[in-house]
Amino acid sequence: MVISVCIPCYRSAKTLPKVVAAIREEFAKHEGYEYQMILVNDGSPDNTFEVIAQLCEEDENIIGMNLSRNHGQASAKIAALRYATGDALVYMDDDGQHPAEGIFRLVSKVEEGYDVVYAHFPKKKASVFKKLTSDLHNKIAEWTGNKPKGIHRSSFVAWSRFALECVKNYHSPFPSAGAYLLCVTDKFANVEMEHKKRIEGSSGYTLKKLVGLWLNSFTNFSIVPLRLASFVGVSCAGIGFLFGIYVVIRKLLHPTVPAGYTSTIAILLFIGGMIMMMLGLLGEYIGRMYMILSNKPQYSVQKALNVPKDAAKRLERRDQLVYETEEAHVFADAGRKDRR
């Protein structure tokens, strides 16, 4: 059985060789299993890709990919699928916090018939900020229906071949593979394991990146935020109507009481703020639709090393088919214009 181990890499020149060595040692203990490692350099500003290139020279079972810029971890994971040929796929981080022996615990669950198996770390060795933001992200995903209830998500996850092939057909420029898989399978599971201490360095997730992650959870494969906007709008309208009745009755009963400009301005500011927030939410959806229609790429590969010949030929045929299809659309559009 071949297992594709995919690792998105960012500022991991010092940690990556140790992670790769631990994976190779673990596979040496399990007969009947072979590895295919796919290391994706996600626009690292250090010499991470040079380290990946050296690892590729030492081991032909390691594929190295260099993205042209920092596209984000989600896009880097999708990029790895280009060359994934394993019977199962495992994603893990480049900082050494995911135990290499956990690969086979996840894959054993996949062999039982599950399509997506997440590692669950009851005791995470991370900063308080990272723990809180991770928990918040999981709550948002569960609330919007992008995560199965009772399942703990993490970046250490195994997919079946079926799940892998499904995600290959997913071309959104705002990738959220976990939410996408929820649309095609309900076979999810967790495996508890120990969270190791980071080899060195700190998390690359900034507040800006986390906000982007939350926006993806809010808007991908979910209209819950739009329904919430409708509910808030109706509630504000109801409150405004009741307050209007109260003001009229108060004026009739107490004609000398001042109109209350402070309360009026406060209500106007509140309702105006809510309207602007809802318009911003609608703008987020419309903007994402525009990006999808504009064919914004998920990622762009600058260089790939140790690519299997069959995978390269398959991609060449697929790219040629896409080109021919687009060319056919151009001729068809030209024909329609001529007939007019």
- Taking the C-alpha atoms of residue 297 and residue 71, their distance in angstroms, rounded to an integer, is 10
pLDDT in tens, 228-277: 777 777 777 777 777 777 777 777 777 766 656 656 766 776 777 777 77
- Taking the C-alpha atoms of residue 323 and residue 255, their distance in angstroms, rounded to an integer, is 76
- Taking the C-alpha atoms of residue 188 and residue 113, their distance in angstroms, rounded to an integer, is 10
DSSP states of 6-63: EEEESS-TTTHHHHHHHHHHHHHTSTT-EEEEEEEE-S-SSSHHHHHHHHHHH-TTEE
- 340 three-class SS: coil
- Taking the C-alpha atoms of residue 16 and residue 13, their distance in angstroms, rounded to an integer, is 6
Terminal-residue alpha carbon distance, the chain: 58
Residue 223 CB: number of other CB atoms within 10 A? 13
Query: Has this prediction a pTM greater than 0.75?
Result: no
Whether residue 61 contacts residue 74, with contact meaning beta carbons closer than 8 Å, is answered with no
State the pLDDT at residue 29.
92
State the pLDDT at residue 105.
94
- Taking the C-alpha atoms of residue 35 and residue 6, their distance in angstroms, rounded to an integer, is 10
Pairing label, strands 2-9, 34-41: parallel
Higher pLDDT, 152 or 111: 111
pLDDT in tens, 143-200: 655 567 778 888 899 999 999 999 988 887 777 788 788 888 889 999 999 888 877 7
Question: In angstroms, how far is CA 27 from the centroid of its own chain?
Answer: 28
